[in-house]
Every structure is written in C-alpha cells, then in structure tokens.
Amino acid sequence: MKRLNTSTVSEFVLVGLSDAPQVRFLLFVLFLIIYLATMAGNITILVAIRTDTHLHNPMYFFLGNLSLLDLLCPTVTVPKMLEALLFENKVISFTGCMLQLSFLIDAVGTEILLLAVMAYDRYVAICHPLQYMNVMSMRLCAHLAIGTWVVGFCNSVLHTSLIFTLSFCDSNEVHQYYCDIPPVLALSCSPTYSRELVTLTVAGVLGSSAFVVTLVSYICIVLAILCMTSAESRHKAFSTCGAHLTVVSLFYVTTICAYVRPSSTYSPDQDRIVSMLYGILTPLLNPIIYSLRNKEVKCALGRVISQ
C-alpha cells in the first residue's frame, strides 16, 4: 500500500473490479453490454415521451427526468471502470475523483427528490382526478423538476466540499471501482467525525423528507384504491402506481445500504455489490419496469421502435 503525505496526493488508484485479472475481460464485456442496454433503454424512453403525444402529461414528464438521471448515473462511473478493466488504467486524478463523486451525489440526491415528486403526482391523479390537470399544471411540474435538480446540485456541492477539503496522507487506493463517499473518507488521515455527522444529518433530512412525502402519498393512494367499487378502476390505478412503487423500493433499499451508516462499518467487498445494484442495475431496470408495467409506455415504445 503506497504511503503518501498531503502534498503529494494528486491522484487516486481505483482497485475495485480491476484487481481480478483472471475475469477482467469477461467483466468488461458484461458491464459494456449492461451499459449499452441502459443507454438504449433510457434514450428510447426519452424519445417515446418526446415524440408521442399520448405521453405529454405530468407523469411522463417526470419519467423523462428520471431517465435523464438514469443516463447520468452510470455514465459517471462505468466508462472509467471499463477503461480500468480493459487497459488496467486504474489511476484517476484528484480533480477527476472529486468530479466523479460530485456528479454521483448530485444524481442520487436529485433522484430521491424526483421519486417523491412522482409519488405526489400519482396521489393527485388518483385521489383528486377531477382537479389533476389544474393542480399539476405544466408550470408547476417544471418548477418541481427544476427544484429537484437545484437541491440535488446544492447537496452535491456541500458533500463534495466537506470531503475533499480533508487531508489524504495515508493511502491513495480507493477500494471501489469509482470514487464514492465511504471509500474516499476511509483514506483521510484527518478527523472525519464532524464531517460524517454533517453529511449524515443533511442526507438524513433530505432523504427522510422525501421518504415521508412518498410514504404518505402511497398510504393515501392505497386507501383511495381500496374505496373504489370498480375492479377495472382499481386495476388501472395499481398499474400506474406499481411501476413507480417498484422503482422507489429498489432505489431506497440500495441507497440506504450504501450510505446510511458510519464509515467505520465500511466493507469494500459488500459495498461493491451494493453500489452495482443502485449504480448500474437500477438505471437498467427502471425503463424495463416502466415499459412492462405501463400499457401506455409499451404502446409508445412499440410505435417508436416500429418507426
């Protein structure tokens, strides 16, 4: 392990998946296929929403924003991982590591808020259907979407500044395939308790607020669905909410496992698996979940593909 002083740390070494030479090429092919499939799936969703007039409503406007985030998240991490697997180039500059972590936190924070906004949108659509178009006007939708991106960006700036103003003088080996909060914090030789506390507090307030909005929205939705007398209406309501609820569950489980814990419990092997779930597989699964569980999206994707 390379010992460094604070004046010489100008780069980090990513020793995540690239430290398994016997399966490196197979991993490269696997993750390249997953990455290309993720890009294709989310770009197709965006094209369908943009070109199909049946999808020009608030629900699919927010879904388009989710697809943008699902394009951003793997693009921040996967290309560097593929480079390390294929060319054994594990080095990333200090600035590159900082930017990678910043974009990743931005994407995660924005997605938490966006999922809460999407839950509220479904609440209004199912519990107040007659007032839906008046309440969820496109102006309000635009403001909500912009707000999620702005808050996510501010959250990212705060976390990044707290982490990269620390001193790194012990090692520059990041035990992950990208720069993330737990493995980077583990390298610091400065006291990290106060910064971890601020990080967990801000993330806790942001995440718990979004979670409460999502939870309350779905409690109201379930109660409204149970009061419906028509089986067809109940089925339609469940079909429009089922995909989003599946995405929400997958996202919260993986992000909580990755971030809601102190750095003293950091386990490189465990975190590689968890990070792959929310950083690589979730962006791949989201368009699949929405296309399989939503009839309108399936029809729109069929028309886009046929064209």
Summarised one tens digit per residue, pLDDT across range 112-151 is: 999 999 999 989 988 888 888 888 998 999 999 999 999 9
Distance between CA atoms of residues 157 and 179, nearest Å: 15
Structure tokens at 241: 């909410």
**pLDDT recorded at residue 5:** 41
Residue 301 forms part of a structural domain: yes
Give this prediction's pTM: 0.85
Cα–Cα separations (whole angstroms), residue 1 to 108, 136, 193? 31, 55, 24
Instruction: pLDDT band for 212, please (50, 70, 90 cuts).
Output: very high
| Identity at 239, one-letter amino acid code | S
CATH number at residue 222: 1.20.1070.10
Structure tokens at 307: 């064209």
> What is the number of H-type helices and E-type strands within the chain?
11, 3
The percent of residues above 90 in pLDDT, for the chain, comes to: 24
**pLDDT recorded at residue 271:** 66
Residue 4 forms part of a structural domain: no
Question: Which of 67-76, 85-94, 102-111, 155-164 bottoms out in mean pLDDT, i.e. has the lowest?
Answer: 85-94
Residue 110 has pLDDT above 90, yes or no: yes
Residue 30 has pLDDT above 80, yes or no: yes
Domain enclosing residue 83, as ranges: 20-262+280-306
What's phi and psi for 86, nearest 5 deg? -85, -45
Q: Which of 300, 299, 295, 289 is nearest to 245 (CA)?
A: 289
Residue 65 has pLDDT above 90, yes or no: yes
Instruction: pLDDT band for 225, please (50, 70, 90 cuts).
Output: confident
Which of 38-52, 89-103, 144-158 shows the highest mean pLDDT?
144-158
* 88 φ/ψ sector (left φ>0, alpha ψ -120 to 50, else beta): left
pLDDT mean across residues, the chain: 82
* Residue 304 CA to its chain's centroid (Å): 26
Number of domains in the chain: 1
Cα–Cα separations (whole angstroms), residue 237 to 138, 226, 273, 298? 22, 10, 34, 17
Q: Which of 184, 115, 106, 125 is nearest to 145 (CA)?
A: 115
Distance between CA atoms of residues 81 and 100, nearest Å: 12
**pLDDT recorded at residue 1:** 43
**pLDDT recorded at residue 273:** 67
Instruction: pLDDT band for 69, please (50, 70, 90 cuts).
Output: very high
DSSP SS3 for 93: strand
- In terms of pLDDT, which residue wins out, 169 or 185? 185
Cα–Cα separations (whole angstroms), residue 84 to 93, 147, 241? 14, 36, 40
**pLDDT recorded at residue 4:** 43
Residue 185 forms part of a structural domain: yes
Residue 7 forms part of a structural domain: no
Residue 268 forms part of a structural domain: no
Distance between CA atoms of residues 169 and 6, nearest Å: 5
**pLDDT recorded at residue 6:** 43
Q: Which of 43, 37, 30 is nearest to 82 (CA)?
A: 30
Distance between CA atoms of residues 155 and 142, nearest Å: 20
Residue 79 forms part of a structural domain: yes
- In terms of pLDDT, which residue wins out, 200 or 266? 200
Distance between CA atoms of residues 151 and 114, nearest Å: 11
DSSP SS3 for 91: strand
